[in-house]
A and B are shown apart, each in its own frame.
Chain A
Amino acid sequence: MEKDIEALLTEHPFFKDMTAPYKALIAGCGKNVRFDAGQLLAKTDDPANEFFAIRHGRMSIELHSPERGPLILQTLEAGDIVGWSWLFPPHRWKFDVRAVEQVRAISFDGQCLRGKCERDPAMGYDFMKRFARVFMERLEATRLQLLDLYGNVSR
């Protein structure tokens, strides 16, 4: 039997240690989704109305180049969050998102969540701190990718 969204939030690292009332509020904006390998979940410049908490499988963040086709910038897996364009105007995806393999995730309605965060600033702050950590981790990962981290060992 499929677990309800609140129970799934408890298992996802992004929501770790979040209070039960907040989880209950957030769960009201979520639904279970499943994507097949190769399926495009989000397309650059399309309205960004949602984000995903991955439960299983791998997604890729891509940029389409007319000359080179899809360029994978990063992959994300179970335990990760995908998408933050829903948080900031103009609420449009900056990159493509594709399921590399079959993916199970929780999809959250961005407008629903923004409304709840506005009405409950304490919950909004809790939520933003969690996203800020994701921003920090992604920025750090991107910086390391830019370094050619493995390139200078002679052995």
Chain B
Amino acid sequence: METSLAEPMLTVPVRVRKNRRESDDTRTLELVFDNPANMPAWRPGQFTMLYVFGAGEIPVSISGDPARRDTIIHTVRAVGDVSRAICEAKPGSAIGVRGPFGSAWPTDRCEEHDIVLVAGGIGLAPLRPVLYTIMANRSRYRRVSLLVGARVPDILLYRGEMDGWREHGIDVRLTVDAATPGWQGSVGPVTTLIPRIELDASDAVAFIVGPEIMMRFVVQALAQRGVSLDRLFVSLERNMKCAIGFCGHCQLGPAFICKDGPIFAYSQLQPWLSIRNV
């Protein structure tokens, strides 16, 4: 964000324009800047630090369309005091934002390749900007598969947008761990969708977001299909606090997740991901 990195710790106030319910504990917030000129440019995969006055600050991936210059969108699940306060923010109220920070999905590396996007739970949020980018430039990409896993159908994000994604030739597949009455989709972990997709594994690129355990098994399943580890990219979340690599809370091996990530080639951090208690 052109919260210029000269002042990376400076929180800028923004206004909540919309607060849309995604599920019982998840909301999508549209944030606007009082001065539209302050609206930062950002790239898919980056995150901001959202600050609720009196509650605290958390990192949240940007989940909107990078081409939109009027608003910046985040999808947040209420899992702690700060995220709950963000989810409860009323339209018109103010919160603070720093950023954007971190690395982006290498969408340019996907041009002329098959793409597999794998999301678990709220992990779909950091991948939605990639979908917008693909849809805006669909002819640049070959087959695109989106595989989404969730515990139950009610918590699947962005259900209303999925027909639009399919109309852009994206193979959208959903699966849940536990079906509820009326569910007609797949039942089973997201890894079981991987053998089913059409894929040129020899040069496919995959972006994966979810808890690390999920990502580990997804990586195994993709590797079994023949996708090279150096074409697998993951988004990591590890205790990010300052967002600029100063505090060290998010250090993993040689990398700071906030500054060098959150997007990494899996092969880059693979040795560190298997070390316990790191």
Which residues of A are interface residues toward B (Cβ below 8 A)?
13, 58, 60, 69, 71-75, 77-79, 100-101, 140-141, 144-145, 147-155
Contacts and interface: CB of A to CB of B under 8 A. Distances in A.
Given A72-B187, A73-B187, A145-B188, A154 B83 contact: yes
Assign chain B's interface to a size class: 35 or more
Contact of B186 (A69, A77, A144, A153): A77
Contact of A149 (B183, B189, B195): B189
A58 B186 contact: yes
B25 to A, nearest CB: 11
A58 B219 CA distance: 25
17 contacts: A75-B185, A101-B184, A141-B189, A148-B177, A149-B149, A149-B151, A149-B211, A150-B120, A150-B122, A150-B149, A150-B150, A151-B211, A153-B121, A154-B79, A154-B83, A155-B59, A155-B122
Contacts, number: 91
Contacts of A75: 175, 185-188
B58 interface: yes
Contacts of A144: 189, 191, 214, 217
B254 interface: no
A142 B275 CA distance: 25
Interface in B189-227: 189-192, 195-196, 210-211, 213-214, 217
Given A150-B151, A154-B80, A154-B83, A60 B187 contact: yes
